[in-house]
């Protein structure tokens, strides 16, 4: 029998209090009648609250509502949360001073975030401005062409060349990827990568250009990226399609904020930042002590491969399984592997002091002692505008967004009036604890 929810909630205020305790409770709270599925103390779980929960969870939540099993899981979780919430209210947790302070701050945060979402939607452009641009440029507003690609990743150009030769002689791409690709995540799927678009910023511009110039089904390479050396094959191209107004909005905003002449001016003013610095690829073995590092060096001097040694004894979990390989270390650009430790400068100095094939003496890092071997050296290259256009546009866009955000805030401050009591501020700043 269907019952309607009525007077099940102590008061409307209780719902907003639950925000700081359980985010999910936001849509199970009081203040909206509905079809009751489960009563829990003074609260209830309703059909409507489940629907709101699913909507807030996005595609995953909505997908749950499409099957009986998914709905049951959503209901079970909702009951658990409601039980905890009602128990917390019965224990008067919401009346604790520190909880009250958290709830007040949570309410402020929710109000501010929604104010910005509504008032600064589309970075301050009006709907009319955006739609006017859409009507004038509809023919140009199409989704980018996409490429379905596979790759085989190798550690050096010579190995990539051998892979390409084998493919050209008739070897199966998927099988060769499974056997020889250094990218083990894609290797198990025949070397398949996520769909690539022309604005991809993970792969270098010359690789993207080669991908979108390639003949479908014909392997090509070797091509270098920060990961190593690749051989690719394009399985199919998906041509772009006209965009609806809502689909085109991000592109329209991008175009309005970054006219071509301003992108060029930004590039000219920051040209050096887009140059590619010198780079080396290397292998790296981390040991606990200097003596252990010297044993690594001794094994290397007898002709053993440093990659094999790294897999056996290196303490660095991030590179050990890949034979200690660091595909690209750029001069002046610290690797995340060493960031924040002071090691980045030491490793860079050692690496760029060696010639290809050279091996360092053991040297100390924050986590132990290291031995490195430089595999190859790639000289730096001056940037070309057409190759870094997407990067320059992205950086300019971020700059323009920050400027519009500041303008938006300055207007709010001017309209509301911000009166500073400099004497009180100075006293506060100087009253530091001893």
Query: pLDDT (tens digit, 9 = 90+) per residue, 106-139?
Result: 999 999 999 999 999 899 999 999 999 999 999 9
In a domain, 336, yes or no: yes
Number of domains in the chain: 3
Q: Based on the domain organization, do 105 and 176 belong to the same domain?
A: no
DSSP for residue 381: B
- Indicate the range of 207-211, 223-227, 346-350 predicted with least confidence: 223-227
Domain boundary, last residue among 185, 206, 238: 238
Domain boundary, last residue among 216, 238, 260: 238
In a domain, 245, yes or no: no
Sign of torsion over alpha carbons 383, 384, 387, 391 = positive
Place of tokens 């590039």: 267
Burial class (CB in 10 A: 0-12, 13-18, 19+), 112: exposed
Mean pLDDT on 179-190: 91
pLDDT reading at 273 higher than 50: yes
Contact by Cβ (8 Å): 164, 231: yes
pLDDT digits (tens, 9 = 90+) for 388-408: 898 999 999 999 999 999 999
What pLDDT is stored for residue 54 in this prediction? 82
Mean pLDDT of the chain: 88
What pLDDT is stored for residue 144 in this prediction? 87
275-308 burial, b at 16+ Cβ within 10 Å, e below that, comes to: ebeebbbbbbbbbeeeebbebbbebbeeeeebbe
Q: What residues make up the domain containing 320?
A: 279-378
DSSP for residue 156: S
Contact by Cβ (8 Å): 373, 319: no
What pLDDT is stored for residue 24 in this prediction? 35
Residue 323, domain CATH: 3.10.50.40
Q: Based on the domain organization, do 166 and 79 belong to the same domain?
A: no
Torsion, CA 315, CA 317, CA 322, CA 324, rounded to 10:
-40
- Indicate the range of 21-35, 310-324, 328-342 predicted with least confidence: 21-35
In a domain, 136, yes or no: no
Reading the block at residue 9, the tokens are 């909630």
Confidence of residue 340 (pLDDT cuts 50, 70, 90): confident
What pLDDT is stored for residue 49 in this prediction? 84
In a domain, 123, yes or no: no
What pLDDT is stored for residue 225 in this prediction? 86
Q: Based on the domain organization, do 303 and 231 belong to the same domain?
A: no
Confidence of residue 425 (pLDDT cuts 50, 70, 90): very high
Q: In angstroms, rounded to a whole number, what is the distance separating the alpha carbons of residues 66 and 358?
A: 61
In a domain, 358, yes or no: yes
In a domain, 95, yes or no: yes
Quote helix, strand, coil % in the chain, to nearest 5: 55, 15, 30
Collapsed DSSP state (helix, strand, coil) of residue 239: coil
Q: Based on the domain organization, do 105 and 152 belong to the same domain?
A: no
pLDDT digits (tens, 9 = 90+) for 34-90: 788 899 888 888 888 888 888 877 777 777 778 888 888 888 888 898 899 899 999
Domain boundary, last residue among 55, 83, 110: 110
Q: Based on the domain organization, do 48 and 94 belong to the same domain?
A: yes
Q: Based on the domain organization, do 21 and 105 belong to the same domain?
A: yes
Q: Based on the domain organization, do 219 and 302 belong to the same domain?
A: no
Reading the block at residue 236, the tokens are 């199919």
Contact by Cβ (8 Å): 229, 154: yes
In a domain, 349, yes or no: yes
Task: Count how many residues are written for the chain.
Answer: 434
What pLDDT is stored for residue 33 in this prediction? 59
Mean pLDDT on 174-197: 92
What pLDDT is stored for residue 175 in this prediction? 94
Closest CA to 256 of 407, 408, 136: 136
In a domain, 409, yes or no: no
Distances, alpha carbon 335 to alpha carbons 226, 228, 339, 346, 353, in Å: 11, 15, 6, 12, 17
Q: Which residues contact 377 (CB under 8 A, 6 or more apart)?
A: 278, 279, 280, 355, 356
């Amino acid at each position: 029998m269907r019952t309607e929810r009525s007077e099940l909630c102590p008061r409307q205020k209780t719902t907003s209090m639950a925000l700081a305790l359980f985010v999910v409770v936001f849509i199970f709270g009081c203040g909206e009648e509905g079809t009751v599925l489960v009563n829990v103390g003074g609260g209830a779980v309703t059909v409507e609250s489940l629907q709101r929960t699913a909507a807030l969870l996005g595609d995953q939540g909505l997908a749950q509502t499409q099957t009986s099993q998914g709905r049951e899981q959503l209901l079970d979780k909702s009951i658990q949360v409601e039980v905890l919430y009602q128990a917390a209210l019965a224990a008067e947790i919401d009346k604790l001073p520190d909880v009250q302070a958290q709830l007040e701050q949570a309410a402020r945060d929710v109000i501010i975030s929604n104010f910005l979402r509504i008032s600064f939607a589309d970075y301050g452009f009006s709907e009319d401005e955006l739609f006017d641009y859409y009507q004038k440029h509809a023919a140009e507003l199409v989704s980018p062409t996409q490429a379905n690609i596979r790759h085989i990743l190798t550690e050096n150009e010579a190995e990539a060349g051998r892979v390409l030769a084998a493919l050209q002689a008739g070897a199966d791409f998927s099988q060769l990827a499974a056997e020889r690709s250094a990218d083990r995540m894609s290797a198990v799927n025949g070397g398949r990568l996520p769909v690539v678009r022309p604005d991809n910023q993970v792969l270098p511009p010359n690789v993207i250009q080669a991908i979108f110039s390639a003949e479908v089904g014909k392997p090509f390479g070797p091509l270098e990226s920060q990961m190593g050396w690749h051989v690719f094959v394009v399985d199919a191209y998906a041509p772009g399609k006209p965009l609806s107004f809502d689909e085109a909005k991000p592109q329209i905003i991008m175009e309005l904020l970054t006219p071509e002449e301003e992108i060029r001016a930004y590039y000219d003013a920051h040209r050096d930042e887009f140059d590619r610095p010198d780079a080396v690829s290397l292998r790296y073995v981390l040991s606990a002590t200097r003596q252990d590092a010297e044993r690594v060096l001794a094994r290397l001097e007898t002709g053993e491969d440093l990659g094999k040694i790294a897999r056996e004894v290196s303490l660095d979990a991030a590179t050990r399984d890949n034979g200690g390989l660091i595909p690209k270390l750029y001069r002046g650009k610290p690797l995340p592997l060493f960031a924040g430790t002071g090691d980045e400068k030491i490793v860079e100095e050692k690496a760029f002091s060696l010639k290809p094939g050279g091996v360092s003496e053991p040297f100390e890092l924050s986590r132990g002692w290291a031995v490195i071997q430089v595999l190859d050296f790639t000289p730096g290259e001056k940037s070309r505008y057409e190759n870094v256009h997407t990067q320059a546009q992205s950086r300019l866009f971020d700059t323009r967004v920050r400027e519009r955000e500041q303008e938006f805030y300055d207007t709010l401050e001017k309209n509301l009036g911000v009166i500073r009591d400099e004497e009180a501020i100075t006293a506060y700043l100087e009253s530091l604890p001893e």
